Each structure stands twice: as structure tokens, then as C-alpha cells.
Homo-oligomer: A and B are copies of this chain.
């Protein structure tokens, strides 16, 4: 759809993609280890997907969770599919740390700290490498 910001090419770095999904690094929210899994087609709700695509989606989420855990050693993983503003299916997969700017609240609450966080070049390279290794087969 022409007015959907996920239907036009993302300005965020693409870490991995295939014909159905892409994974981008959300590097503009002052949060380390925040990835977004986006369906390439414009579909609103998970239950509109075929069982095969749902199954692929959850397999990818599971792999992202494990990769984020290995690289960032977070306190907790947060997963969410909201889409109230952008009803094009996407998942927020977020490493949470006790010293991040929102912990223990959700990242959609008001920040309780105001520190600066960003992914290192090494972390981004590891993300790409591990996604390729685990999803390209």
C-alpha cells in the first residue's frame, strides 16, 4: 500500500531477508539489541497468514531470540506485535537490560533513565553473521 511505511523500502539497516520476511536493526530508538521482523507483504493480522507462513515466522522469531541472547546476554527478551499505527504485520524483538532507559517497564512507557545506547560494529556484524548462518539453509 502506497501510504504504508513498511511497504516502502525501510531506512533502517536490513540485517537479513528472504522472499517473505526481512529483519531490520532498529538503531534509532536508543536501545541496544532491538530487531524488527517485518512481513514483506501487507497483511494486517497474524491469523490472516497461512499456517506455513505462521510457522516460518515463529521459527525465525525463535532464532532471533536465541541470537540476541547469545550476543547481548540480556536480562529479558521482549516480543510484541502491535501495529496500531502501521497495520502491516511486524514484530518487535527487543533485548532488555536492567539499566536500559525503560526497564522494568515496556519500551512504550515513558523513559525512567536518559542514557545513550547503541550497537557496536562488532555486535551488528555478529547479528548479520548469525542470522545468515541460522536462517540461510
Contact check, B54 vs A58: say whether CB atoms are below 8 A apart: yes
Provide the A60-83 mask, 1 if CB < 8 A to any CB of B, else 0: 011001100100000111111111
What 10 pairs across the A-B complex have the smallest Cβ distances? A106-B108, A80-B80, A84-B104, A47-B65, A79-B81, A78-B82, A108-B108, A85-B104, A47-B66, A108-B109
Q: Which A residues lie at the B interface, using CB under 8 A? A: 44-47, 54, 58, 61-62, 65-66, 69, 75-85, 87, 96, 103-106, 108-110
Contact check, B79 vs A46: say whether CB atoms are below 8 A apart: yes
Q: How far is the CA of A90 from the CA of B79 in the complex (A)?
A: 11
What residues of B have a CB within 8 angstroms of the CB of A65 in the complex?
Answer: 45-47
What residues of B have a CB within 8 angstroms of the CB of A78 in the complex?
Answer: 80-84
Contact check, A80 vs B82: say whether CB atoms are below 8 A apart: yes
Q: How far is the CA of A59 from the CA of B52 in the complex (A)?
A: 12
Once A69-B47, A78-B82 are accepted as A-B contacts, the answer to whether A105 and B103 lie under 8 Å apart by CB is: no
